[in-house]
Amino acid sequence: MSDRIPVRKTYKLYIGGKFPRSESGRTYEVTDRKGTFLANAALGSRKDARDAVVAARKAFPGWSAATAYNRGQVLYRVAELLEGRRAQFVDEVVAGEGLSARKAEAVIDETIDRWVWYAGWSDKIAAIHGSSNPVAGPYFDFSVPEPTGVVAVLAPQGSSLLGLVSVIAPAVVTGSTVVVLASEQAPLPAISLSEVLATSDVPAGVVNLLTGRTAEIAPWLASHMDVNAIDLTGAPEQALELEVASADNLKRVLRPDAARDADWTITPGLERLLAYLETKTVWHPIGV
């Protein structure tokens, strides 16, 4: 047997269900913790972010109108596919985060469990966060949670898979669509996740994934007038200026929290689910 020529990967972005190259044509080298070359990833630009927001906006009406039951099923199916790619994710987490194989296995377990956990919330969140309100009049009065719209997510820099899933799932499960900026140093698990999503039942544009420099792209997402919420977890140093830029269209902002974001294995609670919900209150006359 002769030595094979290695097939080196040049990954692309994931926008609107397609895998385009960066509009800028740029790429950057992804290495493991020791500096060994792993693959080339697309170095996204502000225009890729713009395109991703357009794709997310386009997907929003369909995804938010899907029944909660349906969204739960679609997301559960993603967990099944993640399970099937387990070995690949383990390798990527080992390379990207410098964990031992055993620890990486545990991270993948936690990741898939986290995804299933959030998928289960799809048809239960209204029971927790909605209410039927007592009013002094002949009306039924309900408050129901509704998705906010397009959510920009700056994924955590350290936890490239578990952290990523923990920030994407709570946004999409309630019906929002997301533009995710993957971990700059370790984007490969995120790219593989996009390949999983592309082959799952998640409609095109519900999750859009960009790779590149967080500091370069984040300000464009923060100031974007067609983004309804932003999760600043992946940019703690820039958080203040990004929050200021987000104020122009009154984006919902999820601030980074050093204590909370240090350990992604802890069961997260509802904070991230509730961060991207609006409340709609309906007055319905009691019929004659």
Partner 1 sequence: MTTTASLPVGQQLEVGDIVASDASLRRFLHGLPGVDQVGAEARVATLSTRSIKTTAKAWAIDLAISMIDLTTLEGQDTPGKVRALCAKALRPDPADQSTPRVAAICVYPDMVPVAAHELAGSGVHVASVATAFPSGRAALPVKLADTRDAVAAGADEIDMVIDRGAFLSGRYLEVFEEIAAVRQAAGDAHLKVILETGELVTYDNVRRASWLAMLAGGDFIKTSTGKISPAATLPVTLVMLEAVRDFRDTMGRQVGVKPAGGIRTTKDAIKYLVLVNETVGDDWLDPDWFRFGASSLLNDLLMQRTKLTTGRYSGPDYFTLD
| Strands of the 139-147 sheet, one edge to the other | 131-132, 139-147, 277-285
282: left (phi over 0), alpha (psi -120 to 50) or beta: beta
| Nearest approach, Cβ of residue 79 and partner 1 (Å) | 33
Asked if 220 touches partner 1 (CB under 8 A), the answer is: yes
User: Which one of 114, 224, 251, 272 is in contact with partner 1 (CB under 8 A)?
Assistant: 224
Give the CB-side neighbour count of residue 167, counting CA atoms within 13 A.
Answer: 33
Give the CB-side neighbour count of residue 216, counting CA atoms within 13 A.
Answer: 14
φ/ψ of residue 284, rounded to 5: -125, 120
| Nearest approach, Cβ of residue 225 and partner 1 (Å) | 4
| Nearest approach, Cβ of residue 222 and partner 1 (Å) | 9
Asked if 90 touches partner 1 (CB under 8 A), the answer is: no
State both tokens at 79.
Answer: 């967990």
Span of 103-111, 126-134, 222-230, 268-276 interacting with partner 1 by CB under 8 A:
222-230
Q: Please, which residue, 112 or 221, has the CB nearer to partner 1? A: 221
Collapsing DSSP states into helix, strand and coil, what is residue 155? Answer: coil
Interface pattern 132-171 for partner 1 (x via CB under 8 A):
----------------------------------------
User: Which one of 1, 225, 258, 259 is in contact with partner 1 (CB under 8 A)?
Assistant: 225
User: Which one of 129, 223, 268, 274 is in contact with partner 1 (CB under 8 A)?
Assistant: 223
| Nearest approach, Cβ of residue 51 and partner 1 (Å) | 11
Asked if 21 touches partner 1 (CB under 8 A), the answer is: no
Q: Which H/E stretch holds residue 37?
A: strand 37-42
| Nearest approach, Cβ of residue 58 and partner 1 (Å) | 11
Quickly count: other Cβ atoms within 10 Å of residue 6's Cβ: 6
Q: What is the 3-state secondary structure (H, E, C) of 228-274?
A: CEEECCCCCCCHHHHHHHHHHHCCEEECCCHHHHHCCCCCCCCHHHH
Contacts with partner 1 by CB under 8 A: the residue count is 12
SS3 content of the chain, % helix, strand, coil (to 5): 45, 20, 35
Tell me how far apart the alpha carbons of residues 251 and 79 are, in angstroms, rounded to a whole number. Answer: 30
State both tokens at 34.
Answer: 């020791």
User: Which one of 17, 21, 39, 50 is in contact with partner 1 (CB under 8 A)?
Assistant: 50
Interface pattern 229-248 for partner 1 (x via CB under 8 A):
----------------x--x
| Nearest approach, Cβ of residue 243 and partner 1 (Å) | 15
Q: Please, which residue, 230 or 245, has the CB nearer to partner 1? A: 245
Span of 25-33, 95-103, 194-202, 219-227 interacting with partner 1 by CB under 8 A:
219-227
Tell me how far apart the alpha carbons of residues 174 and 271 are, in angstroms, rounded to a whole number. Answer: 13
Q: Please, which residue, 112 or 152, has the CB nearer to partner 1? A: 152
Residues that bind partner 1 (CB under 8 A): 50, 53, 57, 220, 223-227, 245, 248-249
